[in-house]
Structure 1
Amino acid sequence: MTAPRQTQLGPSHPIRPDLPALGWTDALAATLPPGTEPDRVSRVDRGAVEVLTATGAEHARLAAPVRRAAAADPVALPCVGDWVALVALPEGRREVAAVLPRRSAVVRGGVSRTSREGLSGDGQGQVLAANVDVVVVAEPARHADDLADLGRIERLVALAWDSGGTPVVVLTKADLLPGGLPQLLADVGAAAPGVDVHAVSAVTGGGVPAVRGYLTGSATAVVLGPSGAGKSTLVNALAGGEVMPTQQVRAADGRGRHTTVHRELVVLPGGGLVIDTPGLRRVGLFDVGDGVDKVFADVEELAASCRFADCSHRGEPGCAVLAAVESGELPRRRLESWLHLQREAAWMATRSDVRVRRKQARQWGSMHRQMRRDGVIRR
């Protein structure tokens, strides 16, 4: 294997040899402010981040402009997976001077300021992971009478499509449901059309190589799912050793107990990176693109055949969607899930418009005050 090319940040700033393996590219180098050095965020603490270094990890505090930007828009807050520009301080520490442009970001909306996982307000968003190539949606296979939550999978896959990454659904703890796996795989595949679905068992190792295959070179994955889904166990299986703490499975129901309390970027032996996340209690849509349309491509195709273009699929004559439900071609659960996510997407679009108008008003107000100070306009 040839050595990574030494991208130059400037005449006297060759990058560290380990950065290309973390995902550093020439495109990122072109955005790096003069006089700064790049690094990738592996963990975020209050007012500071942990970045990966050639010898381990290092803490760096956030510069005032970065804090101000995050206060105005929580999406601007540095997140796990971000590339940041660092400046050296006189006392020997480093400071985050800027967050470099993201090529992808998993952003959820509707997070309250009291949430222990974020500081975003009503109608705002929270970045769960940045610069990811693959979004692994983890859902436990569980028992035959307690199948995967298809509605949650649909929501997370829509979030994944809108992030710019590629969604992959992983049914964990497959050893607990050996007889029901074929039907479960079929059900999940129908709920996530066009998405790869894998059954994985950390106990037997089954399915792990297939998921590991997505993480070649410097590819980055994030694992999303509910508490007890086995996300950290999956990360350990991908790493081939314990890199994230886990807890024992409960004997009563065979489910794991939530362990991870923060997001963390892990470098895998042999290449690739993966971001482990805490269990998600609520996953709201944020900047909705075509993710919902992709998840419900089958329903969208049926809707195109309705008699009326503005059909609400609630009882209009000639509704192809309701006809498919009545014939058993389309599960009623799937129709209700589609309608619910469409309503949520429309609401978030309205909130986004309000957010944009408020931001523009703040910018104009700031510009007006500056013009007054400069004497361009008079009181």
Structure 2
Amino acid sequence: MSGSDTSSSLERLGWSDFFAAQVEPGEAHLAPRRVASVHRARLEAIDANGPVGLELAANANTADFAVGDWVLADPLTDMLVRRLERKTLLQRHSEIRNGLQLAAANVDTLFIATSCNADFNPARLERYLIMAHQAGTRPVIVLTKADTAADADDYRRRAEALQRDLPVVVLNARSADAIETLKPWLGAGQTVALVGSSGVGKSTLVNTLAGSASETAQKTGTIREHDAQGRHTTTARSLHAIAGGGWVIDTPGIRTLYVSDVTDGIDTLFGDISELSEQCRFRDCTHVHEPGCAVQAAVASGQLDADRLGRWRTLIEESRSRTPVETGPRGNKVVRRKKY
């Protein structure tokens, strides 16, 4: 394959000038490869020619890599040399490990899937939106199971109210029409990721986008319609080619999504509250009891929903309480998490 053909093939995988600029002159002989799946003891990748292996150093930790990462490898030995800087990174905080779990890297658009039933939860959707904003990727709400809802438009309106100019689409995850509905975000070389609760149709949608006959077709599970609880069918993150161009990353269902150190993401999501805050009499207004509070005035007039303000306050408090702080003498700082 010629150099130009190789470059074109890499671009179809999501390669861009952002990554090319990171390759040093002395690394021109190394092969760019994209991580397609992450396992406990190994990584799988793809390059311009298709699936390819990656050999890891003895002290390498696969937890340091995310599906979608670009790495440089020795083409003769398949040994991974180094990971390139990420353009975007989706990650979540884990209560059990008290740390970060990498979800996906170099994602252009995040599809946040929820269904038109009891799974629809504004507070949880806002956490996913904050995740997208912190990562620097575009969020899109994907509403599934509209055929089971008495009023699917009501779910659409409630989703659109979560953020200004938020794209919201309604589709049948099993229908080929889903590809056409999501086409604006599925261009060649584009990477999308799917997040959401178990049972909302993420794996079904991945199979629709990638083609159910694909060797990497995801298993799908059933859902209890009375409470919208589903089984976890995706247990690992993986990269799948989308028919006609682009890539999709499926992720396991997330039962609990914590926020920490996400002030920017909260400000973006709650832009209406941020703008109102600038009109408050006091710069450090908590929007609870202070006189001259523009936010409370907006609630009283009906301009701002009281429940939305309550969710904002919950997220702000959680982010502050879970954000690591440095303690200890200068030069010997120790990062600790605040206690609730």
Give the TM-score normalised by the residue count of structure 1. 0.77
1:30 corresponds in structure 2 to 21
Distance 2:175 2:3 in 1: 41
Aligned residues with identical type, % of pairs? 36
Q: Residues 25 and 147 of structure 1: is their aligned pair in 2 closer, same or farther, counting only changes over 3 Å? A: closer
Distance 2:37 2:331 in 1: 31
Distance 2:332 2:205 in 1: 41
**Among candidates 233, 251, 257, match of residue 231 of structure 2:** 257
2:38 corresponds in structure 1 to 44
State yes or no: 1:82 paired with 2:69: yes
Distance 2:310 2:172 in 1: 32
Distance 1:275 1:53 in 2: 16
**Among candidates 184, 188, 192, match of residue 213 of structure 1:** 184
Q: Residues 254 and 352 of structure 1: is their aligned pair in 2 closer, same or farther, counting only changes over 3 Å? A: closer
State yes or no: 1:112 paired with 2:92: no
Map 1:260-279 onto structure 2 (within 5 A).
260-279=234-253
State yes or no: 1:312 paired with 2:291: no
Distance 2:51 2:316 in 1: 42
Map 1:346-361 onto structure 2 (within 5 A).
346-349=320-323, 351=324, 353=326
Distance 1:251 1:141 in 2: 11
Q: Residues 360 and 32 of structure 1: is their aligned pair in 2 closer, same or farther, counting only changes over 3 Å? A: farther
Cα deviation for residue 203 of structure 1 reads 4.3
Q: Residues 38 and 287 of structure 1: is their aligned pair in 2 closer, same or farther, counting only changes over 3 Å? A: farther
Cα deviation for residue 318 of structure 1 reads 2.5
1:184 corresponds in structure 2 to 155
| Cα contact 1:287–1:352 (8 A) shared by 2 | no
Matched residue of 1:191: which SS? coil
Amino acid at match of 2:114: E
| Cα contact 2:109–2:137 (8 A) shared by 1 | yes
State yes or no: 1:196 paired with 2:167: yes
Amino acid at match of 1:167: P
Matched residue of 1:162: which SS? helix
1:102 corresponds in structure 2 to 86
State yes or no: 1:337 paired with 2:314: no
Q: Residues 341 and 249 of structure 1: is their aligned pair in 2 closer, same or farther, counting only changes over 3 Å? A: closer
Distance 2:325 2:193 in 1: 25
2:203 corresponds in structure 1 to 232
1:116 corresponds in structure 2 to none
| Higher Rg | 1
Distance 1:237 1:219 in 2: 17
Matched residue of 2:46: which SS? strand
Matched residue of 2:155: which SS? helix
1:136 corresponds in structure 2 to 111
Cα deviation for residue 207 of structure 1 reads 5.1
| Cα contact 1:238–1:268 (8 A) shared by 2 | yes
Give structure 1 stretches of 5+ with no counterpart. Answer: 8-13, 114-121, 363-379
Range with greater deviation from structure 2 (268-277 or 187-196): 187-196
**Among candidates 18, 21, 24, match of residue 12 of structure 2:** 21
Range with greater deviation from structure 2 (102-111 or 258-267): 102-111
1:294 corresponds in structure 2 to 268
Distance 2:57 2:325 in 1: 27
Matched residue of 2:82: which SS? strand
Amino acid at match of 1:32: V
Once the two structures are superposed, what CA deviation does each residue of 1:76-121 show, in whole Å capped at 9, x if it has no partner? x1110001111257xxx522221111011112224433xxxxxxxx
Distance 1:210 1:282 in 2: 29
Once the two structures are superposed, what CA deviation does each residue of 1:225-270 show, in whole Å capped at 9, x if it has no partner? 1111211111122234352221245576676532100000001121
Matched residue of 1:222: which SS? strand
1:11 corresponds in structure 2 to none
Q: Residues 46 and 95 of structure 1: is their aligned pair in 2 closer, same or farther, counting only changes over 3 Å? A: farther
Cα deviation for residue 151 of structure 1 reads 0.6
Distance 2:327 2:144 in 1: 40
State yes or no: 1:165 paired with 2:156: no
1:373 corresponds in structure 2 to none
Cα deviation for residue 126 of structure 1 reads 1.9
1:375 corresponds in structure 2 to none
Amino acid at match of 1:22: L
Aligned residues: 328
Cα deviation for residue 191 of structure 1 reads 1.0
Matched residue of 1:19: which SS? helix
| Cα contact 2:199–2:222 (8 A) shared by 1 | no
Range with greater deviation from structure 2 (100-109 or 235-244): 235-244
Matched residue of 1:138: which SS? strand
Q: Residues 251 and 160 of structure 1: is their aligned pair in 2 closer, same or farther, counting only changes over 3 Å? A: closer
1:222 corresponds in structure 2 to 193
